[in-house]
Amino acid sequence: MTPSRRAVLAAMAGGALAGCAGPQSTVNGSASVTGFPSAPAAIATGSRTPGSSPSATAPSASRAVTRADIVARYGHAVPHTWGFEAPAVVHALPTTGRVIALTFDACGGPGGSGYDRALIDFLRRRDIPATLFINSRWVDANPAIFRRLAAEPLFEIANHGTRHRPLSVTGRSAYGIPGTRSAAEVYDEISGNQTKLTRLLGTPPRFFRSGTAYCDDVAARIVTALGERFVSFSVNGDGGATFTPEQVRTTVAAAPGGSIVICHMNHPRGGTARGITAAVPQLLATGHSFTRLSDALH
């Protein structure tokens, strides 16, 4: 068993709740929903040009999709999956080249509203682009920090939900965190933070990741219906912010090309910053580059 696999299994054993991630997954897919706006399919990949502006936002509808629309369409739908494998969920970049997407969750509330300044400062110094999945409560706890991050082209802001809940239409839980209980609550979890981020950013976020990254297939279709793409991960880089720096380094440095790596930026006392600081130079030395999701998923 490789060190990176042992690290991932360590997260599965019970550490994932601390940050908000789950165990490693390696499936890629996308889907659209007839009758509602859908996100475009993943067709290309590339790395960010320093100083470039964020790419185009998700497609807009002629009429905003309402809570009543979602309830009418999905209120009686029966889910068939639970976990990381819903058809509409993106787990990896559409490439086998040496391109990696680093993504960092900021969970907020009981999941942690801290700010890992050392991690973000390292990314700035090395000009490493990243996608930041930010929860509504983290924004409320860190308004000035959020504004600075949102203004930096190096980073893009994505939707990590309103209350950091697993996305279910039947109330299923993950890691002891109760999930949303209906299509209406799924809408609330997505749209509450979507509305906030749109107001603060001036454009709607393109990507969504639920608390714990768990969802059922009906909830994943609702994400698409609301104009966002559900992005999971293929490499669990910090085990829900529970890994030691060496575990983070080993796991992230072993990420293959096309990986979407999940880590956390809300636990400054964890091992994420030191692990990323060690892993990124190793990946750069072996010819890897880094990309924001919006520069790789079109």
Looking at the chain, the whole-number percentage of residues with pLDDT higher than 90 is 76
Higher pLDDT, 96 or 234: 234
pLDDT score at 151: 98
> Is 80 exceeded by the pLDDT of residue 255?
yes
pLDDT in tens, 158-217: 999 999 999 999 999 999 999 999 999 999 999 999 999 999 999 999 999 999 999 999
CA distance 100 to 98: 7
pLDDT band at 143 (very low <50, low <70, confident <90, very high): very high
The pTM score is 0.82
Mean pLDDT of the chain: 85
Strands 235-236 and 229-230: unpaired
Helix axes 183-201, 143-150, angle to 10 degrees: 70
pLDDT in tens, 51-93: 333 333 344 445 899 999 999 999 999 999 999 989 989 999 9
pLDDT score at 17: 37
- Side-chain half-sphere CA neighbours of 47 within 13 A: 15
Lowest mean pLDDT among 45-54, 138-147, 262-271: 45-54
pLDDT band at 110 (very low <50, low <70, confident <90, very high): confident
User: How far apart, in Å, are the Cα atoms of 104 and each of 20, 21, 49, 157?
Assistant: 11, 10, 20, 10
Looking at the chain, the whole-number percentage of residues with pLDDT higher than 70 is 79
- Average pLDDT of span 215-242: 98
Higher pLDDT, 4 or 122: 122
Which residues lie closer than 8 Å to 196 by C-beta, 6 or more apart? 136, 139
pLDDT band at 96 (very low <50, low <70, confident <90, very high): confident
pLDDT band at 13 (very low <50, low <70, confident <90, very high): very low
Q: What is the DSSP string of 28-96?
A: ------TTS--PPPP----PPPTTPPP-PPPPPPSSPPPHHHHHHHHTT-----EES--TT-B-B-S--
pLDDT score at 295: 97
pLDDT score at 3: 39
**∠ Cα 55 127 5 (to 5°):** 95
Q: Sign of dihedral through CA atoms 138, 139, 145, 151?
A: positive
- Average pLDDT of span 146-161: 98
